[in-house]
Amino acid sequence: MIFIHLVILAISMILGFVFSYLAIMEEDLLKAVIYSAGQGVMFSIAFYILMAPDVLLAYIAIAIGIYTALLVFVISKTERKEVV
Amino acid sequence: MKRGHIIALGVFIALILLVSLGITFVGKVPMTTDVRPLGLFYLKNSYFGNYAARSPEVVTSILWDYRGLDTLFETGVFFLAIISALALFRIEKKEEKVKEKGEGFTFIVKDTVRIISVLIVAVSAAIALHGHLTPGGGFQGGSALAVVPLLIIVAFSKYALEGRGLTKDTAMIVRSIGLISIIILVLIPLAAGGYLMQNLPVFPSHILGQLTSGSLVFYNLFEYIAVGAGFTAVFLLLSIPEKVFHKIIGGEKE
Amino acid sequence: MISEALMYIGGILVIIGGICDFFGALGLLRFPHFYVRLHAATVGTIGGAVVPLIGAAILALGCDFLGWIRYPIAGMSFITAILILIVSPTATHALAFAAHRSKAIEWKEKVCDHLEGVKR
């Protein structure tokens, strides 16, 4: 039974790393915010499997709701494309 | 997706898998099955025992009782973050002159937001006020509560929220009430002859036959109010349109 | 007898959900422009999330070996299904409304657009 949990944990963590890589490399900042929210979803699954519901409840509200909305507000005040 | 991204991701995932499999099978990491002594102390003493917080939820009793001062200063850090956001977006003159009527989305979205926001308030209050019984607590409930003004700002408009009395100043006053109540709760045991943030002999463990775990339920309640109102103030500040800033501050015209 | 029937009904609903998810993903990849892809995504959420959740609730009611805990499982599944049933079409509607309002999408072979001249 614990084997299934470990497999789900591995898949969700790898997908989270993929999302965070895409969020860093994306030049359109609005898309990068969406990738970051995807990473939040994957990490919250990992937190659930690691049996940390206290962390999960704070993380799922902040990483998907509040953090995304704050960054969208900030992007709407500045420029959308990343300037290096 | 570009080709370079795929190659980089492939190398990345292969590296992660190699390292984790290598640690598991070659490095022979011992599986730990027993709890360490410190964790065992908390598990044994959180509800029963001599040093009890009278709370079946171990995490909350560590957060607000055994390691209470840490959480108190975390709340202070959050307070400073909100203060810095307020200082960045400071508008000294009145903003009401440029009031305009927001349109918002269609009535389908508005009706759904009306239903869902009541539900989110109920769920977040349940998370916060049952924080000493089930997983959750003040910060979790407050951050879930902060989703409600966000939904209302997006679906209706910022002025719908402010027309009903929830302005930035109101949110700041509510947040200050929450923080001052937390500080008073910290100082009450000193007046009763104990030490800072003492829990059980000072506060009753049962009120009207209900398990309230001493001061934990009060800390959760006030943290819930403070966090929710603080996030609401930041959202109200951030959703001021940019042209209003230009008009009031009188900076460069675009 | 009843529990076996409930288990079969629940299993069939879960399988229907899997099929809907497959077609939603296929449409998301193959459809030509944004609005039709939005339709495929909604097939994925309603058919692929609400129907299997109701199926899981019925399946849990049919499992006698779970004891009393099958009633909380069924209740939570039903509540989640109803929530998704309310929220997901609204989100799709808001996306389509905002995309049409901001004129971000142009598609070829435009057959009809009833909202073209409407100001609001």
| Chain A residues within an 8 Å CB radius of B151 | none
Flag whether C92 is in a domain: yes
What's the alpha-carbon Rg for chain B, to the nearest Å? 24
Domain spans in chain B, listed from the N-terminal domain onward:
1-33, 66-249
Distance from the B144 Cα atom to the nearest Cα atom in chain A, whole angstroms? 6
d(CA C110, CA B82): 49
Q: How many domains does chain C have?
A: 1
**Entry pTM:** 0.86
Q: Which residue of B has its CA nearest to C90?
A: B109
Flag whether A23 is in a domain: yes
3-state DSSP call for residue B210? strand
The count of other CB atoms within 10 Å of the CB of residue C57 is 23
Residues C93, B116: C-beta atoms closer than 8 Å: no
User: Contact, A47 vs A21, CB < 8 A?
Assistant: no
Instruction: Determine whether B15 is exposed, middle or buried from the number of CB atoms within 10 Å of its CB (0-12, 13-18, 19+).
Output: exposed
pLDDT beneath 50: ranges in chain B: 254
Q: How confident is the model over B129-185, as pLDDT tens digits?
A: 998 898 888 899 999 999 999 999 988 888 888 888 888 889 989 999 999 999 999
Flag whether C76 is in a domain: yes
- Model pLDDT, residue C113: 75
| Chain C residues within an 8 Å CB radius of B108 | 90, 93
What's the alpha-carbon Rg for chain C, to the nearest Å? 19
Q: Which residue of B has its CA nearest to A63?
A: B143
Which chains contact A through at least 3 pairs of Cβ atoms less than 8 Å apart?
A: B
* Domain coverage including residue A61: 2-77
- Model pLDDT, residue B254: 47
Q: Which of B141, B137, B139, B140 is nearest to B217 (CA)?
A: B137
- Model pLDDT, residue C65: 87
d(CA B39, CA B59): 11
Q: How many domains does chain A have?
A: 1
Q: Which residue of A has its CA nearest to B142?
A: A58
- Model pLDDT, residue B193: 84
Does the pLDDT of residue C120 top 60, yes or no?
Answer: no
Distance from the B151 Cα atom to the nearest Cα atom in chain A, whole angstroms? 10
Residues A66, B135: C-beta atoms closer than 8 Å: no
What residues contact C35, with CB distance under 8 A and at least 6 apart? C96, C99, C105, C107
Provide mean pLDDT across the span C74-79: 93
The verdict on B105 touching C (C-beta cutoff 8 Å) is: yes
d(CA B235, CA A76): 13
Please name the member of C83, C90, C120 whose beta carbon is closest to the beta carbon of B109.
C90
- Model pLDDT, residue C107: 75
* Domain coverage including residue C47: 2-101
| Chain A residues within an 8 Å CB radius of B78 | none
Best of C83, C86, C88, C90 to disrupt the B interface (most B CBs within 10 Å) is: C90
Flag whether C119 is in a domain: no
d(CA B29, CA B242): 56
Q: Which residue of A has its CA nearest to B242?
A: A77
Flag whether A51 is in a domain: yes
Q: Cα separations (Å) of A45 from A58, A83, C21?
A: 13, 33, 20
Flag whether C38 is in a domain: yes
Q: Cα separations (Å) of C117 from B104, C33, C100, C102, C114?
A: 19, 21, 12, 14, 8
Flag whether C120 is in a domain: no
Q: State the average pLDDT for chain C.
A: 88
